Amino acid sequence: MATVCDDQRALPTGGALSFTESAGVLLFTQEEREMLKHQVDGGVVIVAAANVLGLIPWPSLAGLATFVWTIIRIYETKTWQSILGWIRRKVRV
């Protein structure tokens, strides 16, 4: 089954994630974004554990990927966003 959105392109439905496409951008619902974040978080934990146990052929790459994902998640927090907002307000003055 397919869903037709505003630009008349047919999109598959019924999968694990439903989405719409607007101007080439996938728009997930808030619930789907949170579900995807939790799945990636689980993958990061598994990769970090495998890295510690020496099961990853390129441990530096796995460590870098874990580090980058952790930084992205910290950047998304309300606390960090409020700090950045405070800095932006101070810089404009």
- Mean pLDDT, each 10-residue run in order, the chain (93 residues): 44 51 68 88 88 85 86 90 91 78
Please give the model's pTM, rounded to 2 decimal places.
Answer: 0.53
Q: What is the pLDDT of residue 21?
A: 54
Name the E strands within 2-47.
2-4, 10-12, 20-22, 25-27
Domains held by the chain: number: 1
**Euclidean distance between CA atoms 69 and 73, whole angstroms:** 6
Strand partners, 31: none
Q: What is the pLDDT of residue 24?
A: 59
Report the chain's terminal Cα–Cα distance, integer Å.
Answer: 54
How far does CA 67 lie from the centroid of its chain? 14
Helix 78-92 / helix 59-76 crossing angle, nearest 10 deg: 70
**Euclidean distance between CA atoms 44 and 66, whole angstroms:** 6
Q: What is the pLDDT of residue 63?
A: 83
> Token pair for residue 66?
């874990």
Q: What is the pLDDT of residue 71?
A: 92
How far does CA 22 lie from the centroid of its chain? 19
Domain hosting 34: range is 2-92
